[in-house]
Structure 1
Amino acid sequence: MTITAPAPSTAVGTADPDRGHARAAGIFYLVTFAASIPALLLIGPVLNDHNYILGAGPDTRVLWGCLLDFVNAVAGIGSAVALFPVMKRYKESLALGFVTSRTLEAAVIMIGVVSLLAVVTLRQDLAGAQGTDTGALATVGQALVDVRDWTFLFGPGTMPAISAILLGTLMYRSRRVPRFMPVMGLIGAPLLLTANILTLLGHNTQLSAFSAIATLPIAAWELSIGIYMTFKGLKPAAVNQ
């Protein structure tokens, strides 16, 4: 007589031990969207005006954008930390890699934030001051903006593809979310990496149609799991993974 081990209980009245982790991770994912999109709009003046550092720019608006980018960075780490206790059961090295990728993305984002804060500080301290070399100041300001542009390529532009490979593989194997979701991430990752490599080599731009198309599957993947985990949690763990 063969006795089959019962599946983990998910009956009514039995608490799902992973529900809290999933909800926290989902909320953090949604926060990254809620923070990063308006942040990009708010910092637009300093990114698009080459003489921003010399004029009377909307510093308060830019500072709010930098604050939202900071929130985005912290939320990215939070999403990975919240999922780690669950995902490490399936492949701890991949789960740890996911945490590391989100942490690295946050660190690169913060370099860009600090660069823009430096532009604002220099504008407030030196723009219009007697004896200021406006040409040199404009050059420094543009250099700091260029640093931020490169951080955008390597941070939120590239690291989500690495994260999608790591977490997408874990989610696909564990079947804790509908499988079409990690498939979107696993398909989108090489597309986004290709677009960014071409941008790095000068054969593409971050604002090109190809870059926009390559970004969509990753964005859909992250938004879908954010919504799913926030409102539904994770699917029950299968027996004999």
Structure 2
Amino acid sequence: MKSDDRAARLAGIFFIITFVSAIAGALLYGPVLTDPEYVTGPGADVRVLFGAVCEIVLVITNIGTAIVLFPLLRRHHEAAALGYVAARIMECALIVVGMLSVLAVVTLRQVAASDGDGASYLPVARALVALHDWTFLLGPGFVVGIGNGLLLGFLMYRSGLVPRRLALLGLIGGPLMSVSGVAVLFGAYEQVSVWSGLATLPEILWEASLGIYLAFVGVRGRSAGDASRTVSATPLT
């Protein structure tokens, strides 16, 4: 169906934008997240605010991928498709909490600059940065593995909308990423480490490959028009 193909291509574009905006946001947030004395210095507030704009774009396109794909995916497994939408919303909620914590640090720095007592704001600023780090771990570091990895990989594998060898990346990479997030949670290794990077790589390849495939190829015709042959509410087994 042409409408299905258009929807898939739009979802692919959204996926690509999520990559660009997520990377840009993380880079622009650098001064707040890496400088423990940020509130006492001159700051780089404009740069950080642009990072927040990137994360707003990220939230919009994240939810956009789920909304655009839902009508296609629900034909093949409605419960899993709904779960994917819910996971995307949860991920975005955590991203927004992290974004607000970073913006709060910017506000503290501006207040500290006006009253000349930045040192008194340091504990609060560091707590807000820690909150951002936790939301990053639980959102992009854990929920993404369940939603964008396991659930979306399952739906794409089951439906055949993309090559199944490609969908296997999601089925493997998603759980691996979530398990790695739990390992970081319990202190097995740092979130920014070789082990974490290796565990996250398959999921990154999955999302990048899926976005490029959908944007430039669309969906495979077999499943886009075979909704009558599927039972939308069948179990995951």
Calculate the TM-score normalised by the size of structure 1.
Answer: 0.90
- Within-5 A mapping of 1:126-205: 126-127=112-113, 129-130=115-116, 132=117, 134-163=118-147, 164-205=149-190
Name which one, 1 or 2, has greater alpha-carbon Rg: 1
Structure 1 CA distance for aligned equivalents of residues 79 and 184 of structure 2: 30
| Residue 226, structure 1, aligned to residue 211, structure 2 | yes
CA displacement at 1:53 relative to structure 2: 0.9
Runs of at least 4 residues off by over 3 Å: 238-241
Question: 1:212 is matched with which residue?
Answer: 197
Question: 1:3 is matched with which residue?
Answer: none
Q: Percent identity?
A: 44
CA displacement at 1:38 relative to structure 2: 1.5
Could you say what secondary structure the match of 1:156 adopts? helix
List per-residue Cα deviations over 1:2-47 (Å, max 9, x = no partner). Answer: xxxxxxxxxxxxx523012101111110000110111111111110
| Residue 121, structure 1, aligned to residue 94, structure 2 | no
List per-residue Cα deviations over 1:46-73 (Å, max 9, x = no partner). Answer: 1010000111011111111111012111
Question: 1:42 is matched with which residue?
Answer: 28
- Within-5 A mapping of 1:45-56: 45-56=31-42
Structure 2 CA distance for aligned equivalents of residues 119 and 33 of structure 1: 25
Question: 1:57 is matched with which residue?
Answer: 43
Structure 2 CA distance for aligned equivalents of residues 126 and 45 of structure 1: 16
Q: Which amino acid aligns with 2:216?
A: F
Q: Which amino acid aligns with 1:178?
A: P
Structure 1 CA distance for aligned equivalents of residues 165 and 110 of structure 2: 50
Question: 1:9 is matched with which residue?
Answer: none
Question: 1:236 is matched with which residue?
Answer: 221
Structure 1 CA distance for aligned equivalents of residues 59 and 196 of structure 2: 22
CA displacement at 1:198 relative to structure 2: 1.0
Q: Number of residue pairs matched?
A: 225
Structure 2 CA distance for aligned equivalents of residues 234 and 76 of structure 1: 19
Structure 2 CA distance for aligned equivalents of residues 17 and 60 of structure 1: 41
Structure 2 CA distance for aligned equivalents of residues 46 and 219 of structure 1: 25
Query: What 5-or-longer segments of structure 1 have no aligned partner?
Result: 1-14
Instruction: Decide whether the 8 Å contact of 2:81 with 2:151 is kept in 1.
Output: yes
List per-residue Cα deviations over 1:154-199 (Å, max 9, x = no partner). Answer: 1111122111111111110111101121101111122112211111
Higher helix share: 2
Structure 2 CA distance for aligned equivalents of residues 85 and 191 of structure 1: 28
List per-residue Cα deviations over 1:80-101 (Å, max 9, x = no partner). Answer: 1000000000011100100110
Query: What 5-or-longer segments of structure 2 have no aligned partner?
Result: 231-237
Question: 1:5 is matched with which residue?
Answer: none
Calculate the TM-score normalised by the size of structure 2.
Answer: 0.91
Instruction: Decide whether the 8 Å contact of 2:161 with 2:220 is kept in 1.
Output: yes
CA displacement at 1:125 relative to structure 2: 1.8
Could you say what secondary structure the match of 1:233 adopts? coil
Structure 1 CA distance for aligned equivalents of residues 182 and 217 of structure 2: 36
What is the aligned counterpart of 1:76 among 62, 71, 79? Answer: 62
Instruction: Decide whether the 8 Å contact of 1:189 with 1:218 is kept in 2.
Output: yes
Instruction: Decide whether the 8 Å contact of 2:142 with 2:182 is kept in 1.
Output: no
| Residue 31, structure 1, aligned to residue 17, structure 2 | yes
